[in-house]
Every structure is written in C-alpha cells, then in structure tokens.
Amino acid sequence: MQPTTSPARPKPVRIRRDVLTEHRTAAGINSDAELAKRMGVAPSTVHRVLTHQVEPSARFIKGVLDVLTDASFADLFGDEPETSSS
C-alpha cells in the first residue's frame, strides 16, 4: 500500500503594493480608503490585502481591476511576497 500524499498547495497570490500605489496615484485616487470606496469594499479589507494578512478574493481582484483600468492582473499580483530593497 502506497502512502497517500496531499496535493501541493498553490502559492498564495500577493499584491504588489508599490505597483498598486503607482496606479492608484496615476488614477487620481489619493488614499487606500478612497480606493476601497470605489471598489465597494471596506477599507479594512484593502488594508488586510495590502499587508498580506489575507489573500485577495475574486471580488477584491475584480474590484481593483475595474477601478484601476490601466493596470493588468500581471501588473498588480504575483505569487511571491514583496522583497525589501535594502
């Protein structure tokens, strides 16, 4: 009898905060709270996603792409956490 193995977990989707901030500013949105309002989500949701406390939901991803129309999914999201440039 062969041991059972669990399927590999997919890598978490992480938002690239610096890129999001650039697109947000270019769109004339001055704060994460204003971004949240335009997306139709709570400011705390934006904060939790931006600080990698939670993964972005499909609703969050759709909302941010609907608001930041010049950004693509590939621009804003990746599967690796941001690295600090020290």
pLDDT tens over the chain, length 86 residues: 666 777 787 788 899 999 999 999 999 999 999 999 999 999 999 999 999 999 999 999 999 999 999 999 999 998 655 554 44
3 domain-assigned = no
Give yes or no for a contact between 46 and 32, defined as CB atoms under 8 angstroms apart.
yes
Q: Determine the pLDDT at residue 58.
A: 94
Query: The domain that contains 39 carries what CATH number?
Result: 1.10.260.40
58 domain-assigned = yes
8 domain-assigned = no
82 domain-assigned = no
Q: Determine the pLDDT at residue 1.
A: 61
The one-letter amino acid code at 63 reads G
Strand partners for 14: 78
Q: Determine the pLDDT at residue 7.
A: 77
Q: How many domains does the chain have?
A: 1
Domain that holds residue 49: 14-77
41 domain-assigned = yes
Q: Determine the pLDDT at residue 80.
A: 59
83 domain-assigned = no
From the list 61, 64, 78, the residue with the least C-alpha distance to 14 is: 78
